[in-house]
């Protein structure tokens, strides 16, 4: 089966993901569920045509792919000597914060503050889209120099009120760390980092935040508490006191998100929000991370919330969400 045919059918089904594997039936994900798309089978030559120029079929690679008017994020890999593509379809346009149901405190307050904003959640929860929406809002409303570091570039930002420079890892700069280190010489006001993957990238992001930049980055963790623990635990024991102090001083907010929705229908992101203030900084500095959920519950008026609080609120509004 031709890849273009599989893409057409997948989009017709409203799929968010397409898995096109050599010699196997294409599969799609619709509303969180995976099923076989059709009886055809993936072809090796179709995958090789799609692959990024010069990519080694034996190694994993990530790239943005254009199919007609549609854009997709593609991960190419090999399984049992067969080539495979994991394709995530990208929206035709960047959704607004309200369309994404983002907590208002994010686009009314947090995105205007210096420091590190961490957006965390599992794969496929919409972290990249959340950051793209905030960048678009800043681009629309403020005269800034915005730098993005992405692997690969997923959403394209045309400079509007702000100057937006998008750099792709592996093409425009060697790594997230090299991109962040060179950012200081480029003079951006806002730096968006596609993913904090290791100790070095976390250190670089904290350093940028410490210098008074607005830093936005994604991170993999299930909730706010786990995100803070994971950041700290990524450092050796003799450095953890230092990183707690850095987080307490430089953190702007942590947002955790996951997809939930009525059974069998389109899902939407739901959010957990931690805002940094004196009591939060005190807990982080002293390693009392387990008390952060209680702080989020007690400071609902300031815009904080736990995941359970938002799910309960949606239920009260008649929106029954299944995680």
Question: Any idea what the CATH number is for the domain that residue 68 is in?
Answer: 3.30.450.90
**What is the pLDDT, as a whole number, of residue 321?**
62
Same domain for 243 and 125: yes
Report whether pLDDT(52) > 90.
no
**What is the pLDDT, as a whole number, of residue 208?**
98
pLDDT digits (tens, 9 = 90+) for 69-90: 788 989 999 999 899 999 999 8
Say which range, 206-215, 217-226, 312-321, has the weakest mean pLDDT.
312-321
Report whether pLDDT(56) > 90.
no
Please provide the average confidence, as pLDDT, over all residues in the chain. Answer: 92
Same domain for 82 and 167: no
The more confident residue out of 175 and 50 is 175
Same domain for 137 and 240: yes
CATH of the domain at 241: 3.40.50.300
Q: Is residue 98 assigned to a domain?
A: no
Report whether pLDDT(147) > 70.
yes
What are the Cα distances from residue 305, in Å, to 113, 115, 170, 288? 19, 20, 37, 18
pLDDT digits (tens, 9 = 90+) for 174-211: 999 999 999 999 999 999 999 999 999 999 999 999 99
Say what percent of the chain tops pLDDT 90: 80
Same domain for 157 and 133: yes
Q: Is residue 309 assigned to a domain?
A: yes
Same domain for 310 and 215: yes
Q: Is residue 95 assigned to a domain?
A: no
Report whether pLDDT(265) > 80.
no
Same domain for 113 and 38: no
**What is the pLDDT, as a whole number, of residue 260?**
81
Report whether pLDDT(322) > 60.
no
Same domain for 119 and 85: no
**What is the pLDDT, as a whole number, of residue 148?**
99
Q: What is the mean pLDDT of residues 2-18?
A: 94
Find the domain containing 261 and state its range: 104-316
Tokens for 154, please give them: 């997923």
Q: Is residue 61 assigned to a domain?
A: yes
Q: Which of 57, 90, 123 is the last residue of a domain?
A: 90
Same domain for 85 and 58: yes
Name the nearest CA neighbour of 116 among 228, 229, 221: 228
The more confident residue out of 26 and 322 is 26
Same domain for 154 and 116: yes
Q: Is residue 234 assigned to a domain?
A: yes
Q: Which of 62, 90, 118 is the last residue of a domain?
A: 90
Q: What is the mean pLDDT of residues 111-126?
A: 95
Same domain for 259 and 132: yes
Please report which confidence band the pLDDT of residue 323 belongs to, taking 50, 70 and 90 as the band edges: low
Same domain for 205 and 158: yes
Q: Is residue 322 assigned to a domain?
A: no
**What is the pLDDT, as a whole number, of residue 105?**
97
Please report which confidence band the pLDDT of residue 106 belongs to, taking 50, 70 and 90 as the band edges: very high
Say what percent of the chain tops pLDDT 70: 95
Same domain for 140 and 73: no
Q: Is residue 97 assigned to a domain?
A: no
pLDDT digits (tens, 9 = 90+) for 289-303: 999 999 999 999 999
Q: How many domains does the chain have?
A: 2
HEC states along the chain? CCHHHHHHHHHHCCCCEEEEEECCCCEEEECCEEEECCCCCECHHHHHHHCCCCCCCCCCEEEEEEECCEEEEEEEEEECCEEEEEEEEECCCCCCCCCCCCCHHHHHCHHHCCEEEEEECCCCCCHHHHHHHHHHHHHHHCCCEEEEEECCCCCCCCCCCCEEEEEEECCCECCHHHHHHHHCCCCCCEEEECCCCCHHHHHHHHHHHHCCCEEEEEECCCCHHHHHHHHHHCCCHHHHHHHHHHHHHHEEEEEEEEEEECCCCCCEEEEEEEECCHHHHHHHHCCCHHHHHHHHHHCHHHCCECHHHHHHHHHHCCCCCEC
Q: Which of 68, 90, 112 is the last residue of a domain?
A: 90
**What is the pLDDT, as a whole number, of residue 54?**
54
Whether the pTM exceeds 0.85: the reply is yes
């Amino acid at each position: 089966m031709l890849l273009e045919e599989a893409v057409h059918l997948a989009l017709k089904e409203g799929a968010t993901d397409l898995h096109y594997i050599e010699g196997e039936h294409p599969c799609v994900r619709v509303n969180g569920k995976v099923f076989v798309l059709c009886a055809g089978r993936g072809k090796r030559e179709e995958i090789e045509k799609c692959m990024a120029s010069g990519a080694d079929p034996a190694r994993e690679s990530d790239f943005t792919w254009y199919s007609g008017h549609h854009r997709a994020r593609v991960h190419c890999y090999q399984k049992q000597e067969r080539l495979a593509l994991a394709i995530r379809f990208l929206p035709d346009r960047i959704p607004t914060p309200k369309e994404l149901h983002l907590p208002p405190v994010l686009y009314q307050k947090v995105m205007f503050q210096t420091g590190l904003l961490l957006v965390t959640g599992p794969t496929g929860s919409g972290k990249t889209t959340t950051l793209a929406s905030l960048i678009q809002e800043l681009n629309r409303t403020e005269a800034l120099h915005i730098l993005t570091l992405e692997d690969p570039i997923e959403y394209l930002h045309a400079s509007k009120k702000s100057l937006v420079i998008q750099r792709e890892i592996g093409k425009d700069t060697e790594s997230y760390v090299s991109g962040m280190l060179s950012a200081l010489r480029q003079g951006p006001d806002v730096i968006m980092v596609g993913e904090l993957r290791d100790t070095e990238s976390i250190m670089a992001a904290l350093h940028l935040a410490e210098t008074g930049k607005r830093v936005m980055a994604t991170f993999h963790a299930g909730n706010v508490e786990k995100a803070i623990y994971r950041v700290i635990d990524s450092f050796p024991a003799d450095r953890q006191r230092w990183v707690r102090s850095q987080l307490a001083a430089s953190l702007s907010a942590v947002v955790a998100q996951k997809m939930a929705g009525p059974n069998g229908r389109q899902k939407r992101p739901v959010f957990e929000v931690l805002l940094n203030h004196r009591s939060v900084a005190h807990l982080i500095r002293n390693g009392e991370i387990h008390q952060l959920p209680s702080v989020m519950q007690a400071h609902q008026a300031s815009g904080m919330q736990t995941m359970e609080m938002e799910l309960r609120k949606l239920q009260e509004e008649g929106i029954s969400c299944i995680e």
